[in-house]
Amino acid sequence: MNDNKSDKDDKAGLSRRGFLGASAVTGAAVAATALAGSVMTRESWAAAAKDSQLKVHVAPGELDEYYGFWSGGHQGEVRVLGVPSMRELMRIPVFNVDSATGWGLTNESKHILGESAKFLNGDCHHPHISMTDGKYDGKYLFINDKANSRVARIRLDIMKCDKITTIPNVQAIHGLRLQKVPHTKYVFCNAEFIIPHPNDGKVFDLEDENSFTMYNAVDAETMEVAFQVIVDGNLDNTDMDYTGRFTAATCYNSEKAFDLGGMMRNERDWVVVFDIPAVEKEIKAGRFITLGDSKVPVVDGRKKDGKDSAVTRYIPVPKNPHGLNTSHDGKYFIANGKLSPTCSMIAIDMLPDLFAGKLQDPRDVVVGEPELGLGPLHTTFDGRGNAYTTLFIDSQVVKWNIEEARRAYKGEKVNYIKQKLDVHYQPGHLHASLCETSEADGKWLVALSKFSKDRFLPTGPLHPENDQLIDISGDVMKLVHDGPTFAEPHDCIMARRDQIKTRKIWDRNDPFFAPTVAMAKKDGIKLEEDNKVIREGNKVRVYMTSMAPAYGLTEFKVKQGDEVTVVITNMDQIEDVSHGFVMVNHGVSMEISPQQTSSITFVADKPGLHWYYCSWFCHALHMEMVGRMMVEPA
């Protein structure tokens, strides 16, 4: 133990030694201090967190217990971290362009991006892993793009994006969650903004009944849009239950306003609940429309003359609610009040009665509305009956007991608040290990703080965000790690490492590069052996292999103005021997990992000699892994 009392300790009127001494004798001392509601300083928490910090240290060569998948926000990618070390393991480009892997540059990635390759930006928020029976099955990870209204899928065996879908006739896909039970058949995604239909510039009025937004379901396997549901108001976040029947979404703009003042007018907005089998029934019965040239069935889920639709119910909750979280026990949809200090607990087992018209008032399904603090945004769970909610304005995570909050709502005198922990600062999402599955294990919690202010070395006007790791395995939360991150991990999830199974080298039959394999076949090329140039008019295809430290072709000749496609197949079988291909001064760069085929197309517009080189350090003679393109003048 540290025997030197620091200046800071004195200023804070605290003896770190004394504090640690007490907690060392019995952990209960820490609990008592925290539960008494005393505000703990940075120093005292640091001391209390000492033992937790030991758990965070993953020694060199050791592996983390959890995979963390972080949204890269408006940077457009997904990041893979190890938890609890918080070490960044990998980045998966999705809605961005990436010069290391060539995502957005290679033909394989452009094929996956399709139409949306024209966008160079994205804004992803919500990563979620496919499930079977309410548990992660490790197959796919899905993520939204708010900026260009898209949903992407990542194959977790190779950790590459393999499909991107643009949702038609909507603007800004925000909330995204998956069907949990019996398996992820649908990806549910919220289109946030209300727009006129058709949006052809003739009407700009949001009051019009032809102005609306839609709740969307994407088929997880085909990635085609399965259906859309028109809603009243707008849509923020969403989640699904553990029966496979209901999903719910928050709406902060029940006012259908177009400015800040208008969006805050109502004291209550609502949670809209969707009966998914009922939507499927409507479509089967032909009760749907289509919009524009989209063929996607659209079901109307709005109230008509005060009467509910067949597929939705609107449950009033205060005020501009944001996060929507299903408790891990499947009992509640929890709507986070944002402009109200409360969370609203909706009893999922009462929803069949609500849909059957057996309840007088939709508010009857609200069975708890705990007062938690200022700015509740998102809630997570530890599997032991506690919920944890971020308080954006208070800069805290509040731990509260779910069933006690329900009893308090009935009038019982019970203090459901267990602890408030300062985080730094202004937290948005928070996520506890496995909390969105039935296996919530209550070990780690990450609070994704939007501001870091004074927590790190200054980096100019633009600051990093701060993803803080909190140990929730004991009776009290302990902050154990500050994690600076670049713009902007809205959300993250954690899966046990045994739930993710990755390939070490590519399968030659992988669909990721199947279109390139098909092209080679047409050209009569054996990708694993041939080093050949095929010409078809001014289109030139250069096929070569690579094996450390050499390309199969160290020179090729083309004519100025030719459209050149370089196709490289990496014949190395050894794990980790990735090659690259860069054509100098041509904006050409890509990754070719062991047993992968990658291709990239460019115009040879400059006569002369142009070197190409390997960009991934693969061998002692990596620098020598080069070749020359010779371009004859036109």
* CA gap 620, 549 in Å, rounded: 8
* CA gap 168, 229 in Å, rounded: 12
Q: Does 394 bind ligand RUQ (CB under 6 A)?
A: no
CB of 575 to ligand CUA, least distance (A): 15
CB of 592 to ligand CUA, least distance (A): 8
Helix (H, G, I), strand (E, B) or coil at 191: strand
CB 510 within 8 A of CB 504: no
The binder of 480, among ligand RUQ, ligand CUA, Ca ion, none, by C-beta within 5 to 8 A per type, is none
Token readout for 505 is 């080298």
Distances (CA, A) of 393 to 159, 216, 339, 373, 626: 36, 31, 10, 8, 56
CB of 554 to ligand CUA, least distance (A): 13
* CA gap 149, 486 in Å, rounded: 22
Q: Does 134 bind ligand RUQ (CB under 6 A)?
A: no
Could you tell me where the DSSP H helices lie in 114-187? none
CB of 80 to ligand CUA, least distance (A): 23
The binder of 510, among ligand CUA, ligand RUQ, Ca ion, none, by C-beta within 5 to 8 A per type, is none
Closest CB to ligand CUA among 24 and 623?
Answer: 623
Residue 426: partners with Cβ closer than 8 Å, 6 or more residues away: 392, 393, 395, 449, 450, 451
* CA gap 269, 252 in Å, rounded: 6
- Taking residue 296's Cβ as centre, other Cβ atoms within 10 Å add up to 20
CB of 448 to ligand RUQ, least distance (A): 7
Q: Does 128 bind ligand RUQ (CB under 6 A)?
A: no
Interface with ligand RUQ (CB under 6 A), residue from 65, 491, 510, 562? 491
- String marking each residue 172-191 x if it binds ligand RUQ according to CB under 6 A: --x-----------------
* CA gap 277, 289 in Å, rounded: 18
Closest CB to ligand CUA among 488 and 591?
Answer: 591
Residue type, 139: K
Helix (H, G, I), strand (E, B) or coil at 272: strand
Judged by the rule CB under 6 A, the positions of this chain that interact with ligand CUA are 548-549, 579, 614, 616-618, 622, 625
The binder of 160, among ligand CUA, Ca ion, ligand RUQ, none, by C-beta within 5 to 8 A per type, is none
Q: Does 125 bind ligand RUQ (CB under 6 A)?
A: yes
Residue type, 69: F
What residues from 297 to 326 belong to the interface with ligand RUQ (CB under 6 A)? 322-323
The binder of 431, among Ca ion, ligand CUA, ligand RUQ, none, by C-beta within 5 to 8 A per type, is none
CB 420 within 8 A of CB 427: no
CB of 389 to ligand RUQ, least distance (A): 12
CB of 528 to ligand CUA, least distance (A): 17
Beta sheet of 87-93, edge-to-edge order? 87-93, 77-83, 66-71, 492-496
Applying CB under 5 A, the span of 141-149, 168-176, 245-253, 483-491 interacting with Ca ion comes to 245-253
CB of 577 to ligand CUA, least distance (A): 8
- String marking each residue 583-612 x if it binds ligand RUQ according to CB under 6 A: ------------------------------
Q: Does 510 bind Ca ion (CB under 5 A)?
A: no
Interface with ligand RUQ (CB under 6 A), residue from 180, 429, 431, 481? 429
Token readout for 351 is 């929803």
What residues from 247 to 276 belong to the interface with Ca ion (CB under 5 A)? 252, 263, 269
The binder of 617, among Ca ion, ligand CUA, ligand RUQ, none, by C-beta within 5 to 8 A per type, is ligand CUA
What residues from 211 to 240 belong to the interface with Ca ion (CB under 5 A)? none
CB of 476 to ligand RUQ, least distance (A): 25
Q: Does 150 bind ligand RUQ (CB under 6 A)?
A: no
Q: How many residues bind ligand RUQ (CB under 6 A)?
A: 12
Closest CB to ligand RUQ among 430 and 625?
Answer: 430
Closest CB to ligand CUA among 34 and 618?
Answer: 618
What residues from 209 to 268 belong to the interface with ligand RUQ (CB under 6 A)? 237
Give me the residue label for tokens 């991934």: 616
Q: Does 376 bind ligand RUQ (CB under 6 A)?
A: no
CB of 614 to ligand CUA, least distance (A): 3
The binder of 402, among Ca ion, ligand RUQ, ligand CUA, none, by C-beta within 5 to 8 A per type, is none
Token readout for 563 is 């459209």
Give the DSSP H/E element, type plus range, for residue 44.
Answer: helix 42-48
Token readout for 91 is 């980045």
Distances (CA, A) of 38 to 31, 85, 344, 397, 419: 11, 29, 27, 15, 10
Closest CB to ligand CUA among 184 and 593?
Answer: 593
Pick the closest to residue 289 from 204, 197, 202 (CA basis): 197
CB of 87 to ligand CUA, least distance (A): 24
CB of 269 to Ca ion, least distance (A): 4
Interface with Ca ion (CB under 5 A), residue from 71, 101, 213, 320? 320
The binder of 490, among ligand RUQ, Ca ion, ligand CUA, none, by C-beta within 5 to 8 A per type, is ligand RUQ
* Cα angle 172, 175, 178; round to 5: 130
* CA gap 16, 298 in Å, rounded: 62
CB of 125 to ligand RUQ, least distance (A): 4
* CA gap 43, 164 in Å, rounded: 47
CB of 623 to ligand CUA, least distance (A): 8
* CA gap 33, 44 in Å, rounded: 11
Residue 128: beta bridge partners? Answer: 142
* CA gap 551, 614 in Å, rounded: 9
Closest CB to ligand RUQ among 127 and 594?
Answer: 127
Query: Three-state SS across 87-111?
Result: EEEEEEECCCCECCCCECCEHHHHH
Residue 121: partners with Cβ closer than 8 Å, 6 or more residues away: 74, 76, 95, 96, 147, 148
The DSSP symbol for 261 reads H
Interface with ligand RUQ (CB under 6 A), residue from 72, 373, 383, 428? 428
Using a 10 angstrom Cβ sphere, with 0-12 exposed, 13-18 middle and 19 or more buried, the burial of residue 486 is middle
Closest CB to ligand CUA among 220 and 577?
Answer: 577
The residues of the shown chain that bind Ca ion, judged by CB under 5 A, are 252, 263, 269, 320
The residues of the shown chain that bind ligand RUQ, judged by CB under 6 A, are 125-126, 174, 237, 322-323, 377-378, 428-429, 490-491
